[in-house]
Amino acid sequence: MTDTPRFLPPEWAPQSALWCGWPRLADEWGGDFHGARAEIAAFARVAAGFLPVKLAAGSDEAARSAREAVGDVAEIIEVPTGDIWLRDTGPIITTGQGGAQAETFRFNGWGGKYLMQGDTDTAAAVAGVEGIRVRGHDLVLEGGAIDVDGEGRLLTTRQCLLNPNRNGDWTEAAAEAALAGAFGVDEVIWLGDGLLNDHTDGHVDNIARFIAPGHVLCQHPTGSEDPNAEILLAIEDRLRTAGLMVSTISSPGHIHFGDGAPVPASHMNFTITNGAVIVPTYDERFSLVALAQLKPLFPGRKVIGLPALNILRGGGSFHCMTREIPSNPF
């Protein structure tokens, strides 16, 4: 049954549930994860208005605090987790004849940078809770490194997928064959580098996202000091030369934590749910513009902005911390 063709639904396809991480290791958050927990709780409350939300709690304390914060709107489930980044540590759910299937991959802490106890067990545990069979792949791949449009196209970056810290001397051809086998895609669109100082080595979900078949969204530079200006312009140019329909929104500009060093803040790290798009916001001057630009691009969905600066201190944002469970059409 696992040899039958698989299909990775785009994020705007109907979903039966949304999983979300919950911080449990204060040391990974500079000793204080209360701000991040508050922002995640706000996210969960909004998302729960559109579909069932399940919070992954990796310890007894995490489960207790999650129940206190959002137990009235979300299901709190104790599963092994290191940190909150379920996009990368959780399963990638494909559909097809015979039902849903959890595609699981080796996780090596984003190239050996951060590997916490529990992270390598999260994918199988989530699949078990959902009652979804598992197909394991002997490859390193994080969910944030890919994005699909549901019609055979997949976006990724060379900086991440071809990085020697993932699968050694992987070539484009080898990567494309593996992606086709796992997800049923027939065209891989390669971008170059991701945002500056992104410990994921350039995850695509921080720089470009499909919003409809053949229609991709990216950011244009904002302000005179946007540290990613050249990168963002190169991304837009590559997407246009790939023959895609391209829309752009404002970037957050130069976001930092007081020392001037840019952090990888991105309006692209939104989560698409049934009926809503939940967008991380940072500098209000630029985030309000981005939200206004997003609204006409998602007809039939509410575009909702929520603060995410404290979550960003942990290294990611809304899309990074969530994993949708698609409704199986078969």
Judge whether residue 126 has pLDDT over 60: yes
Side chain identity at 183, as an amino acid letter?
A: F
Closest among 257, 256, 251 to 279, alpha carbons compared: 251
Q: Which residues are catalytic?
A: 320
Q: Is residue 283 part of a domain?
A: yes
Q: Is residue 203 part of a domain?
A: yes
Q: pLDDT above 70 covers what percent of the chain?
A: 98
- Amino acid 328: pLDDT: 72
Burial class of residue 142, CB neighbours in 10 A (0-12, 13-18, 19+)? buried
Mean pLDDT of 73-78: 98
Residue-averaged pLDDT of the chain: 96
Give per-residue pLDDT as tens, 248-293.
Answer: 999 999 999 999 999 999 999 999 999 999 999 998 899 999 999 9
Mean pLDDT of 85-91: 98
Q: Which domain holds residue 193?
A: 15-326
Judge whether residue 5 has pLDDT over 90: no
Judge whether residue 2 has pLDDT over 50: no
Q: Is residue 287 part of a domain?
A: yes
Judge whether residue 231 has pLDDT over 80: yes
Judge whether residue 194 has pLDDT over 60: yes
Q: Is residue 316 part of a domain?
A: yes
- Amino acid 330: pLDDT: 53
Q: How many domains does the chain have?
A: 1
Q: Is residue 95 part of a domain?
A: yes
- Amino acid 329: pLDDT: 61
Strand pairing partners for 133?
Answer: 101
What CATH number is associated with residue 228? 3.75.10.10
Burial class of residue 114, CB neighbours in 10 A (0-12, 13-18, 19+)? middle
Q: Is residue 3 part of a domain?
A: no
Of 125 and 97, more confident: 125
The Cα 173–Cα 297 span in angstroms is 33
Q: What is the pTM of this model?
A: 0.97
- Amino acid 1: pLDDT: 40
Q: Is residue 273 part of a domain?
A: yes
Q: Is residue 119 part of a domain?
A: yes
